[in-house]
């Protein structure tokens, strides 16, 4: 809402601008910007000014009257106007303005004297320049006649301002044309402030003062030029429809003051009819519409014009003012005559009955419409307008009357017509003013402090509520019956709405600050959140950088990891209104989005190494019904060098699958689980991964293998597609599954004080035998005596038969209670060797 | 005889003076202290000395031995010192060469700040409550006092899914309903952190996805003054105990009264600078008293219970604290950006 302060000042005395802006801001009318028109803005408000303009000094920029215009002796292009500028002397000037001519006289112009600072008329960009005495083609010149551009009024460069009305010469321009436009963001519950009157009432409540509202009682005369009736189909969607006829108007441009008000409010002047409806809407908040009554009569072949507010019928078409054919649907509210729709109620008029330069008889509409209907129609037809904005915020039925009278009066006085006798109106159901009961206990309950009854009454009075005491006690408690003014449609809930008004006007800054009383016992707890924090800490401790990626992705990206997914998003939660194809679905894979980041960092951002993790959600569509699941996953992606290159010239090694596997194992250990209970099932068949370098991960817990996720090396083909050379390692682990196997307590084993004896064994087994299987057999055979087991070499070649491999292990024997004797170790070691021969078909090298 | 001993000392000392390095010193030691060295020989010769002079001879020979030994030790020490000094000289490095840095893992800036925020509210008695991101329109709007076609719905540009009635939550507030329904009619103090979504153009100032933290307290004695005090405590803990706050009246459908909370600018303390766009204030939170309809929808009786709620954007706080000017950095995860946190 753009508020012209010169206009507002006619309704309510205003405090200094700085105070006004500060109070409006705190009271919920946030000032978005200030636009000075020739006025000076206090320094502290300068940041609010979008585009600074010239300040018209009262003694320097004044109205003047052209007395005559002489010819310049040497230049045809230049003219020498002589003006009266209120000092008694005749002032000669030099100008090249094309819109005055030698011999003319009597025009009202604006004169800038030496020292005025205005926009430089010789520059296309707006630069402020001080006017200095000069000579133009030999003739001294210390003043000039101003263009609209130089004054900062518009972009109009060509010619000087010829003001359409006579103003006494010497009158400061700022007194007539000067203004400050305050743009305020109107909150959804402050629809009443989408009008000058509403803002004036708010200012009165904040600063005091009486609002002077424009009242009109148009003089009526003569019959209606046509027979008109009005009615409505359903009084719940249109409570009131009022109309007046103005006959014999002459359509033409509006007077300067009216045009200026519209322009300041951001509306374009059109003609006196349309301008009056807009002005009254801006003034009172009630949108109006003007029909050409003769066109209506012609449509109805001179018969009765039966105007009806009704639901649109399927398939009806209305050509709106903008020339578009609109296909209407039931649910949209139309104004219709017997022939069909003539306007889209509260949204836009119809082209067929539009007022124009030839209009003489006008039918003026002022009505109430249901906010939701208007809002729906404006949205469906993509037709936001000043009218639909106000209707959709709610305009009370009572407002229709005064607005109609005011507009009829203005049209008749500006357009020279007569207001036909009588209002034709339908208003079948009139609501009683609503009442709300407000008690001191509730006020204190919400605000935390008591508010004395006198204070409450004065605040509510200022806001036009009427208040009656219905109960009071000596202890200061009270009960009030509050009657709402009609325009307070925002008061829906009742007493809390009023309490908000009390707090708002009292000022939140006057409330004390306290802390909640007591602690509460029934804590919900959030072990999941605690666990996620721990996982993030551990992952970072393992040298992984956390990333947070878009949860909006595309099927193509997820298909990097799960190629089986439907390419069109049928397996995803898909967006109905995506911002781009790359963000069209909710991701199913966290690893895939982390992979995208790693790729960008390695390829475009010059990262030597990427060791990333994300703890985020995957989003899985539900079955038939129910809620989608949003499981938390830990995704890890490693690629690049094991570390950044150093100046020692040694090339750091490339990260490989076992870096990732080791990270996972260490992570599991850090959680208090036992990495040796992890199972890596190489039967995993994810086509996106290297066929020989991937596994499903599970954890052995309570005798069962619980699936946790997968890890592997990206298929070289996929890596190549991404433009990555070298291995790309990815893992994804489901955190809910991991939480299930998490130990509730951690059992710490003692540390032996006795020495460890190391024995090696080289085990020759078939290639197909997994190292893990061998390790399990060693552990099983050695039992408690095995303090440490380490694989230290894998050998294939001379001495080992084709198709077999030699795994060399170092076994550390140790007991908790004694130093082991050689013969005990020999015995245990022999058991290990025997078991390996028996269980995995091993040959022991060197035996 | 004693003359020959005299020359022995000067001769040994003289020869030692010519020794230039540790290897020559070892030859010198052999020549003088070896089994057939000069000192042994001199001591063996004691048998040839008349008995009356033996004592004096012996004493003198031993004194010479000790003196030469001491001279040897000093020489050895000085050679070692010198060798060490040479080594140190050779071992000097260009101390300006870059160090070998460990590659630590880091947490994302949003996580770091989210934790700070949750930590402070944790100490104020608010526990984290996790809620869904793909949400029912009804919970995101309807139960929060925004029936279909409510004008306030325009305040949130919404991502709709292809399943009717399901959207991406536009704020953490639907979590209020879930939390209240779990706790009602008992008292409740929670913070709801999480990702929210807005259908917007991605620019340096707006993103389609951001973290919000919402706070909610419901009980029999929860007042607006408590809201003010809680937020003041939070802001002073996060931004410093000199911070002031200002409450401006505002509108949210799910709170009444509703307000925007500003704090005085962290850079200029209210004087006006580029961070606060010369206003002296930074908008930091939206807040209010829980609307009776929302309390009812959460399972509370608004006649006996009241509540307050507030919400803030995590990335905006990170940006304020770090001077960042491009919100797109958060989800771009450029390593050069992340390693600064």
Residue A829 has pLDDT above 60, yes or no: yes
Q: From CA A295, how far away is CA A363, in angstroms rounded?
A: 10
Is A294:A355 a contact under the CB 8 Å cutoff? no
B-chain residues near A611 (CB < 8 A): 103, 105
Q: Check CB contact under 8 Å for A514 and B223.
A: yes
Q: Which two tokens stand for residue A440?
A: 């001191």
Q: Check CB contact under 8 Å for A189 and B289.
A: no
**Neighbour order of strands in the sheet with A478-483:** A435-439, A478-483, A466-472
Q: Match 């209670």 to its residue by tokens.
A: A817
For residue B149, give the nearest of A372, A445, A597 by CB distance: A372
Per-residue burial over A564-576, b if 16 or more Cβ lie within 10 Å, else e, is ebeeebebbbbbe
The per-residue pLDDT for range A326-377, each reduced to its tens digit, is 999 999 999 999 999 999 999 999 999 999 999 999 999 999 999 999 999 9
Q: What are phi and psi of A530, to 5 degrees?
A: -60, -45
Predicted pLDDT at A88:
86
For residue B250, give the nearest of A187, A597, A600 by CB distance: A187
Q: Check CB contact under 8 Å for A520 and B230.
A: no
Q: Match 């150093």 to its residue by tokens.
A: A646
Residue B292 Cα distances to A116, A501, B36, B217, angstroms: 59, 16, 113, 14
A-chain residues near B127 (CB < 8 A): 523-526
B-chain residues near A372 (CB < 8 A): 149
Q: Which helix (H) or strand (E) holds A337?
A: strand A333-337
B-chain residues near A646 (CB < 8 A): 100
Taking CA atoms, what residue in B is nearest to A548? Answer: B331
Predicted pLDDT at A476:
81
Q: Which two tokens stand for residue A681?
A: 């099932």
Q: How far is A653 from chain B (nearest CA, A)?
A: 15
Q: Which of residues 2-31 of B touch A (CB under 8 A)?
A: none
Q: Match 């836009």 to its residue by tokens.
A: A348
Q: Check CB contact under 8 Å for B251 and A188.
A: yes
Alpha carbons within 13 A on the beta-carbon side of A9? 15
Instruction: Give A179-225 as a DSSP string.
Output: EEEEEEEPPGGGGGGSSHHHHHHHHHHHH----------PPB-S--S
Any idea of the CA torsion for B275, B280, B284, B285, to the nearest 10 degrees? Answer: -160
With CA atoms as reference, report the closest residue to B127 among A517, A521, A528, A525.
Answer: A525
Residue of B113, B301, B335 to mutate when probing chain A, most A C-beta within 10 A: B335
Residue A214 Cα distances to A197, A280, A287, angstroms: 9, 10, 16
For residue B336, give the nearest of A519, A551, A605 by CB distance: A605
Residue A764 confidence class, pLDDT cut points 50, 70, 90: very high
Q: Match 């292809």 to its residue by tokens.
A: B162
Per-residue burial over A311-328, b if 16 or more Cβ lie within 10 Å, else e, is bbeeebebebbeeeebeb
Is A313:A349 a contact under the CB 8 Å cutoff? no
Indicate the pTM of the whole model.
0.86
Q: From CA B152, how far away is CA B294, in angstroms rounded?
A: 15
Predicted pLDDT at A810:
96
Q: From CA B331, how far away is CA B108, in angstroms rounded?
A: 10
Residue A199 Cα distances to A8, A177, A196, angstroms: 8, 22, 5
Instruction: Give A239-256 as a DSSP string.
Output: --EEEEEEES----PPPH
Q: Which two tokens stand for residue A526?
A: 């959030």
B-chain residues near A533 (CB < 8 A): 115
The per-residue pLDDT for range A42-93, each reduced to its tens digit, is 988 998 998 888 999 999 999 999 999 998 888 888 889 999 999 988 999 9
Residue B185: is the preceding peptide bond cis (ω within 30°)? yes
CB-based contacts of A53, cutoff 8 Å, min separation 6: A35, A36, A37, A38, A119, A126, A152
What is the distance, to the nearest Å, from the Cα of residue A536 to the centroid of all Cα atoms in its chain? 31
CB-based contacts of B77, cutoff 8 Å, min separation 6: none
The per-residue pLDDT for range A686-740, each reduced to its tens digit, is 888 999 999 999 999 999 999 999 999 999 998 998 898 889 999 999 999 999 9
Q: Which helix (H) or strand (E) holds A704?
A: strand A704-714
Taking CA atoms, what residue in A is nearest to B334? Answer: A601
Q: Which two tokens stand for residue A777?
A: 């057999």
Predicted pLDDT at A316:
95
B-chain residues near A644 (CB < 8 A): 101, 103
Predicted pLDDT at B1:
43
The per-residue pLDDT for range A101-116, each reduced to its tens digit, is 998 899 999 999 999 9
Q: Check CB contact under 8 Å for A446 and B229.
A: no
**Neighbour order of strands in the sheet with B245-252:** B127-128, B188-197, B209-219, B306-313, B281-290, B255-264, B245-252
**Neighbour order of strands in the sheet with A573-574:** A552-553, A585-586, A573-574
Instruction: Give A22-69 as a DSSP string.
Output: HHHHHTT-EEEEEEEEBPPPPGGGGGGBSS---B--TTTEEEEEEEEE
Q: Which SS3 state, helix, strand or coil, does residue A575 take?
A: strand
The per-residue pLDDT for range A372-398, each reduced to its tens digit, is 999 999 999 999 899 999 999 999 999
Percentage with pLDDT > 90 across chain A: 80
Q: Match 């009139």 to its residue by tokens.
A: A430
A-chain residues near B224 (CB < 8 A): 446-448, 503, 508, 511
For residue A547, give the nearest of B128, B187, B333 by CB distance: B333
Q: Cα dihedral sign for B231, B233, B238, B239?
A: positive
For residue B160, give the nearest of A544, A547, A577 by CB distance: A577
The per-residue pLDDT for range A224-253, each reduced to its tens digit, is 999 999 999 998 899 999 999 999 999 999
Q: From CA A222, how far away is CA A247, in angstroms rounded?
A: 9
Q: What are phi and psi of A52, to 5 degrees?
A: -65, 145
Predicted pLDDT at A378:
92
Q: Which SS3 state, helix, strand or coil, does residue A796 take?
A: coil
Q: Which two tokens stand for residue A442?
A: 């509730």
Q: Check CB contact under 8 Å for B110 and A548.
A: yes
Query: Does the CB of B130 have a partner CB in chain A at under 8 Å?
Result: yes
Q: Cα dihedral sign for A830, A836, A837, A839?
A: positive
Query: Does the CB of B127 have a partner CB in chain A at under 8 Å?
Result: yes
Q: How far is B153 from chain A (nearest CA, A)?
A: 9
Q: From CA A196, how far away is CA B201, in angstroms rounded?
A: 34
Per-residue burial over A411-447, b if 16 or more Cβ lie within 10 Å, else e, is bbebbebbbbeebbbbbeeeeeeeebebebebbbbbb
Residue A299 has pLDDT above 90, yes or no: yes
Predicted pLDDT at B88:
94
Alpha carbons within 13 A on the beta-carbon side of A143? 22
Query: Does the CB of B335 have a partner CB in chain A at under 8 Å?
Result: yes
B-chain residues near A375 (CB < 8 A): 149, 151
Q: Check CB contact under 8 Å for A47 and B278.
A: yes
The per-residue pLDDT for range A634-687, each reduced to its tens digit, is 999 999 988 888 898 898 899 999 999 999 999 999 999 988 889 998 887 888
Residue A467 confidence class, pLDDT cut points 50, 70, 90: very high
Residue of B144, B151, B193 to mutate when probing chain A, most A C-beta within 10 A: B151
Q: Check CB contact under 8 Å for B229 and A499.
A: no
A-chain residues near B335 (CB < 8 A): 545, 601, 605, 607, 610
> Residue A569 has what DSSP assignment?
S
Q: How far is B113 from chain A (nearest CA, A)?
A: 13
B-chain residues near A525 (CB < 8 A): 127
Residues of chain B with pLDDT under 70: 1-3
Residue A345 Cα distances to A64, A374, A401, A846, angstroms: 47, 7, 17, 100
Q: Which of residues 54-113 of B touch A (CB under 8 A)?
A: 97-98, 100-108, 110-111
Query: Does the CB of B256 have a partner CB in chain A at under 8 Å?
Result: yes
Is A541:A549 a contact under the CB 8 Å cutoff? no
């Amino acid at each position: 809402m753009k508020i012209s302060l010169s206009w507002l000042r006619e309704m309510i005395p205003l405090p200094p601008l700085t105070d006004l802006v500060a109070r409006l801001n705190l009271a919920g009318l946030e000032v978005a910007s200030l636009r000075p028109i020739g006025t000076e803005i206090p320094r502290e408000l300068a940041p609010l000014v979008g585009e600074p303009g010239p300040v018209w000094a009262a003694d320097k920029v004044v109205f003047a009257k052209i007395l005559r215009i002489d010819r310049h002796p040497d230049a045809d292009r230049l003219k020498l106007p002589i003006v009266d500028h209120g000092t008694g002397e005749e002032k000669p000037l030099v100008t090249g303005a094309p819109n005055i001519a030698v011999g003319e006289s009597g025009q009202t112009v604006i004169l800038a004297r030496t020292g005025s600072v205005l926009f430089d008329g010789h520059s296309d960009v707006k630069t402020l320049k001080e006017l200095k005495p000069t000579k133009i083609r030999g003739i001294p010149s210390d003043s000039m006649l101003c263009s609209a551009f130089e004054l900062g009024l518009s972009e109009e460069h060509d010619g000087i301002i010829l003001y359409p009305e006579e103003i006494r010469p010497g009158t400061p321009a700022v007194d007539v044309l000067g203004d400050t436009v305050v743009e305020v963001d109107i909150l959804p519950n402050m629809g009443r402030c989408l009008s000058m009157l509403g803002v004036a009432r708010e200012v009165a409540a904040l600063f005091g003062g009486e609002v002077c509202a424009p009242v009109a009682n148009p003089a009526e005369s003569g019959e209606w030029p046509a027979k008109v009736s009005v009615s409505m189909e359903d009084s719940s969607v249109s409570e009131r429809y009022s109309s007046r006829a103005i006959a014999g108007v002459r359509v033409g441009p509006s007077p300067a003051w009216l045009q200026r008000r519209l322009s300041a409010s951001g509306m374009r002047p059109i003609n006196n009819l349309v301008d009056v409806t807009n002005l009254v809407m801006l003034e009172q908040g009630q949108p109006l519409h003007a029909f050409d009554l003769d066109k209506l009569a012609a449509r109805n072949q001179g018969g009765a014009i039966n105007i009806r507010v009704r639901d649109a019928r399927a398939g009806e078409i209305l050509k709106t003012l903008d020339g578009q054919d609109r296909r209407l649907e039931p649910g949209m509210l139309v104004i219709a005559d017997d022939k069909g729709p003539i306007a889209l109620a509260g949204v836009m008029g119809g082209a067929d009955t539009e007022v124009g330069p030839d209009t003489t008889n006008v039918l003026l509409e002022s009505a109430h419409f249901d906010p939701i209907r208007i809002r729906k129609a404006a949205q469906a037809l993509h037709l936001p307008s000043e009218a639909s904005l106000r209707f959709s915020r709610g305009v009370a039925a009572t407002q229709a009357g005064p607005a109609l009278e005011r507009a009829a009066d203005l049209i008749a006085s500006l357009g020279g017509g007569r207001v036909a006798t009588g209002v034709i109106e339908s208003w079948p159901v009139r609501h009683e003013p609503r009442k709300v009961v407000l008690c001191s206990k509730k006020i204190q309950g919400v605000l935390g402090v008591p508010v004395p009854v006198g204070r409450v009454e004065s605040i509510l009075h200022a806001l036009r509520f009427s208040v009656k005491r219905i109960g009071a006690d000596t202890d200061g408690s009270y009960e009030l019956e509050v009657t709402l003014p009609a325009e307070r449609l925002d008061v829906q809930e009742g007493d809390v709405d009023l309490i908000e008004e009390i707090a708002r006007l009292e000022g939140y800054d006057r409330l004390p600050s306290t802390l909640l009383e007591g602690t509460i016992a029934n804590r919900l707890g959030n072990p999941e959140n605690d666990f996620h924090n721990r996982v993030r800490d551990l992952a970072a401790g393992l040298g992984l950088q956390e990333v947070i990626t878009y949860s909006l992705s595309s099927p193509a990206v997820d298909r990097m990891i799960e190629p089986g997914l439907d390419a069109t998003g049928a397996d995803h939660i898909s967006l109905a209104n995506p911002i781009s194809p790359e963000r069209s679905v909710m991701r199913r894979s966290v690893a895939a989005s982390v992979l995208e980041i790693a790729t960008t960092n390695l390829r475009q951002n010059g990262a030597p190494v990427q060791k990333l993790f994300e703890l985020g959600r995957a989003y899985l569509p539900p079955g038939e019904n129910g809620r989608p699941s949003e499981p938390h996953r830990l995704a890890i992606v490693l690629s690049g060098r094991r570390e950044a290159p150093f100046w020692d010239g040694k090339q750091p090694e490339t990260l490989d699958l076992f870096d990732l596997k080791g990270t996972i194992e260490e992570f599991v250990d850090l959680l208090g689980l036992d990495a040796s209970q992890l199972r890596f099932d190489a039967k995993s068949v994810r086509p996106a991964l290297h066929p020989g370098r991937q596994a499903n991960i599970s954890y052995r817990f309570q005798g069962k293998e619980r699936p946790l996720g997968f890890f592997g090396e990206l298929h070289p083909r996929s890596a190549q597609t991404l433009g990555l050379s070298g291995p790309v390692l990815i893992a994804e682990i489901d955190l809910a599954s991991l939480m299930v196997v998490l130990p509730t307590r951690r059992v710490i084993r003692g540390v032996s004080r006795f020495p460890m004896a190391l024995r090696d064994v080289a085990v020759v087994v078939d290639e197909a035998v997994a190292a893990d299987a061998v390790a399990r057999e060693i552990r099983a055979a050695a039992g408690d005596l095995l303090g440490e087991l380490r694989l230290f070499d894998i050998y294939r070649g001379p001495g080992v038969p084709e198709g077999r491999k030699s795994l060399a292990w170092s076994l550390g024997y140790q007991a908790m209670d004694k130093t082991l004797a050689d013969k005990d170790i020999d015995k245990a070691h022999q058991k290990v060797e025997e078991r390996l021969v028996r269980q995995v078909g091993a040959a022991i090298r060197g035996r | 005889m004693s003359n020959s001993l005299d020359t022995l000392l000067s001769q040994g000392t003289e020869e030692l003076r010519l020794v230039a390095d540790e290897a020559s010193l070892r030859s010198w030691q052999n020549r003088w202290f070896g089994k057939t060295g000069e000192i042994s020989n001199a001591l063996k010769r004691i048998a040839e000395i008349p008995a009356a002079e033996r004592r004096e001879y012996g004493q003198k020979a031993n004194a010479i031995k000790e003196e030469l030994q001491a001279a040897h030790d000093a020489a050895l020490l000085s050679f070692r010192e010198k060798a060490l000094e040479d080594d140190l000289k050779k071992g000097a490095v260009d101390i300006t060469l870059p160090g070998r840095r460990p590659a630590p893992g880091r947490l994302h800036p949003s996580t770091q700040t989210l934790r700070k925020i949750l930590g402070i509210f944790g100490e104020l008695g608010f526990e984290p409550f996790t809620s869904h991101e793909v949400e029912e329109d009804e919970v995101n709007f309807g139960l929060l006092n925004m029936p279909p076609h409510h004008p306030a719905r325009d305040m949130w540009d919404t991502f709709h899914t292809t399943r009717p009635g399901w959207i991406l939550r536009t704020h953490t507030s639907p979590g209020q309903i879930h939390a209240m329904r779990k706790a009602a009619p008992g008292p409740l103090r929670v913070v709801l952190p999480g990702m929210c979504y807005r259908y917007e153009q991605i620019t340096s100032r707006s993103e389609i996805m951001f973290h919000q933290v919402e706070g909610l307290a419901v009980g029999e004695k929860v007042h607006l003054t408590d809201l003010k005090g809680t937020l003041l405590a939070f802001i002073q803990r996060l931004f410093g105990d000199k911070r002031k706050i200002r409450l401006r009246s505002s509108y949210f459908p799910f709170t009444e009264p509703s307000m925007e909370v500003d704090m005085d600018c962290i850079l200029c303390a209210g004087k006006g600078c580029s961070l606060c766009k010369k206003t002296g204030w930074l908008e930091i939170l939206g807040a209010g008293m829980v609307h009776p309809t929302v309390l009812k929808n959460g399972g509370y009786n608004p006649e006996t219970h009241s509540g307050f709620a507030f919400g803030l954007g995590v990335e905006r706080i990170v940006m304020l604290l770090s001077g960042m000017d491009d919100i797109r950095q958060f989800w771009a995860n450029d390593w050069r950006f992340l390693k600064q946190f």
